[in-house]
Chains A and B, each alone.
Chain A
């Protein structure tokens, strides 16, 4: 045991001080009492004896029992009263410190023998509090001389102004303590640096001005109300004077420092100093969070835009929007679209709480002047956002794209708070993007329908049935259903009784290519109907394309087929830049026939050499477009040789089998969807076979 005793003189009053270190022993409380007894006798404060002995015993007993370490007892007495501090050397929080059991809690049979200690300290002490040091923690109490208050009750500071002046002025802050107060700084890498910093600062200032408790409250304006950022000591008693200092921060934050001490002496300026230090760091926190929020909103918008942009399906886009919005931007979301008569139709709705979905649907079904639907119509009509009332609170944003009203986006408020201005503008942004996505998907849908209709109109619906000639065709449009390819085929009756087989490919894709395809087909039909010879038809067609084709050109396989002698089919074949057809003999021999001429639409004059073929019964002539030969597998092309080799084994099969097999072989060549149209036309001499 070590003992120091000293007498000092501060501010003219004599101080009696004892500082003793005692072991963790059951005799220690008695020893502590003896020390306090001695100091009180020296200072002439015998009137405080009962309370001082009791409280000293309670604190030292707690230290022995709970901390189990050695303890330091510091006893300081002056003319006005006594302060005793009991410090232990155990790390960790002080147990039971904030306990202030209410009277009804004192169910005697259940209360342990311990635990009343701090209740007694709280009752008898003029002030008390805790100190935290790196080595351990301490509890102190102050007993003021009662001379001014003969009443035995605990002096009520508020009622005793004289007493107040003496007690509340507290100890004079030392330069060292002040320096620490200024040098406390947040840990840059701590998880919750602001809270730690606030707790440290609060603890220090409370120690310095002798406050028995304190709170820093922070309202981040996020709808959660004021939250305790840091707490120290015990909660304030009701009706007691508190020192409150607002912490200056910008909207929507608000914060306050509250200390359980009278606002006098050094307390007020010190509290103001701490509030000022806190305000800097709280403001910093506000800016950092606002920045993070903005950044996360930007990411959200970017992701939403990407998702929406990828979706070219109207239904899918509608279903996607509520998934993007809930729960991030609201509790629920409903998307309505405007139909062709301008009525709003529910397209998709979702609620963060699955069980609330039926209620949402019920509210959306209501009609009447005050109904949700009426509000949505208002939003759509006025083109501005409209608040929605209970029971499904929120607001509605119109969906407008390219000046067209597409519908509305209704979003429910968050569970705990309303939408803040940031969120409102994010929602409007989402609505704009969603509207564009819906519009894009609609346009895409329309285009796909046009493409399909065009394509269908360009193909001959049914091939003619001709005695002795077996026709069959296969056509596979490109993988992208919205694109019209330039491939076409046709079988036309010639005035001389022969049949004209046309397989062609107009350069390029899309609507212009389709228009040229239509032109080519119609010009051929008109010219051959007049009985023009084939080379002249090709020449006239070339002239037309050079004039009217808009820079597009066309390759054609052109074959007039007629019955020849002895069951043979005579074929007059012209190729205008087109791939040579494959002739598959009934004997299984496959070869390319014809010779290439000039593609149409490129040059003013063309050459179109004619090849005369004679098909024996069972021979088949296979026409195709470059969608077949240029079908890709990685860098490899299907090619003409592969086609010829695939065709040879098909000898003697009927035309539709040959066409179907070749189509399957071509498609099976690569897992990718075709990039170009695939057209295959087969004609076969069916005579007596």
Chain B
């Protein structure tokens, strides 16, 4: 049961911040994701925040809810929250819950 729960690595350029997420998003880790993104938005909100989901092995409904809330916060701060490399299963869950339309998803695109 010892494994990294969720690691977040941030790469910043002038017009975007890329957060490489690896691990699991659930009730334990969603709060940390939320506070990290909030910090990025608070410091000096870049026009674009990219969440690279390629390393995410699990995300539950609470994690998805957090992503939606963050996306809304970003647009309030005149920023855009973008998800990339979203796994197939997660896409299905987004469809089922009807949350897909509330998120910006760019899969299979090189986003620097």
Binding site for B on A (CB under 8 A): 26-27, 29-31, 33-34, 50, 53-54, 57-58, 61, 64-65, 103, 106, 108-109, 111-114, 116-117, 119-120, 123, 152
Contact = CB atoms under 8 A, between A and B. Distances in A.
A103 B28 contact: no
Interface string B48-85: 00000000001011101110110010000000000000
A395 B1 CA distance: 79
Given A30-B24, A119-B96, 7 more contacts: A34-B1, A57-B58, A58-B60, A108-B102, A113-B62, A113-B64, A120-B97
- 9 closest A-B pairs (Cβ-Cβ)? A113-B65, A106-B98, A116-B61, A50-B89, A57-B60, A108-B102, A26-B28, A34-B1, A116-B97
Nearest to B28: A26
B60 A112 contact: no
B97 A113 contact: no
A120 B96 contact: yes
Contacts of A111: 65
B26 A29 contact: yes
A53 B72 CA distance: 27
Nearest to A107: B98
B54 to A, nearest CB: 16
A371 to B, nearest CB: 60
B71 to A, nearest CB: 10
B68 A108 contact: yes
Contacts of B102: 108-109
B35 to A, nearest CB: 15
Given A30-B5, A119-B97, A53 B58 contact: yes
Contact of A108 (B58, B93, B99): B99
B27 A116 contact: no
Contacts of B64: 113, 116
Contacts of A112: 65
Contact of A117 (B58, B61, B66, B69): B61
Contacts of B58: 33, 53-54, 57
A54 B60 contact: yes
Nearest to A119: B97
Contacts of A119: 61, 96-97
B28 A29 contact: yes
Interface residues of B, number: 25
B61, B65, B102 — most chain A CB neighbours (10 Å): B61
Contact of B61 (A33, A34, A58): A58
Nearest to B92: A152
B97 to A, nearest CB: 5
Contacts of B66: 113
Interface in B36-58: 58
Given A54-B93, A106-B97, A61 B72 contact: no
Contacts of A61: 26-27, 60, 62
A683 B96 CA distance: 114
A552 B64 CA distance: 109
A272 B26 CA distance: 44
Contacts of B28: 26-27, 29-30
Chain A binding site: helix, strand, loop or mixed by DSSP?
helix
Nearest to A106: B98
A120 B93 contact: yes
Contacts of A103: 98
B52 to A, nearest CB: 20
B27, B69, B96, B102 — most chain A CB neighbours (10 Å): B27
A509 B111 CA distance: 120
Contacts of A106: 97-98
A113 B1 contact: no
B101 A108 contact: yes
A31 B1 contact: yes
Nearest to A55: B60
B81 to A, nearest CB: 14
23 contacts: A26-B27, A26-B28, A29-B27, A30-B28, A31-B1, A34-B1, A50-B89, A53-B58, A54-B89, A57-B60, A61-B62, A64-B27, A106-B97, A108-B68, A108-B98, A108-B101, A112-B65, A113-B61, A113-B62, A114-B62, A116-B61, A116-B64, A117-B61
Given A113-B61, A114-B65, A117-B61, A65 B27 contact: yes
A26 B28 CA distance: 5
B96 A30 contact: no
A111 B98 CA distance: 10
Nearest to A122: B96
A333 to B, nearest CB: 57
A681 to B, nearest CB: 106
B69 A113 contact: yes
A111 B64 CA distance: 12
B49 to A, nearest CB: 19
A123 B96 contact: yes
A33 B24 contact: yes
A113 B68 CA distance: 9
B104 to A, nearest CB: 14
A226 B93 CA distance: 38
B101 to A, nearest CB: 7
B66, B72, B97 — most chain A CB neighbours (10 Å): B97
B70 to A, nearest CB: 11
A53 B5 CA distance: 15
A31, A54, A58, A112 — most chain B CB neighbours (10 Å): A54
Contacts of A57: 26, 58, 60
Contacts of A120: 61, 93, 96-97
A504 B93 CA distance: 111
Contacts of A152: 92
Contacts of B89: 50, 54
A33, A113, A119, A123 — most chain B CB neighbours (10 Å): A113
Nearest to A152: B92
B26 A116 contact: no
A29 to B, nearest CB: 5
B98, B101, B102 — most chain A CB neighbours (10 Å): B98
Contacts of B96: 119-120, 123
A31 B1 CA distance: 7
A123 B24 CA distance: 22
A46 to B, nearest CB: 13
A65 B62 CA distance: 11
Contacts of B61: 58, 113-114, 116-117, 119-120
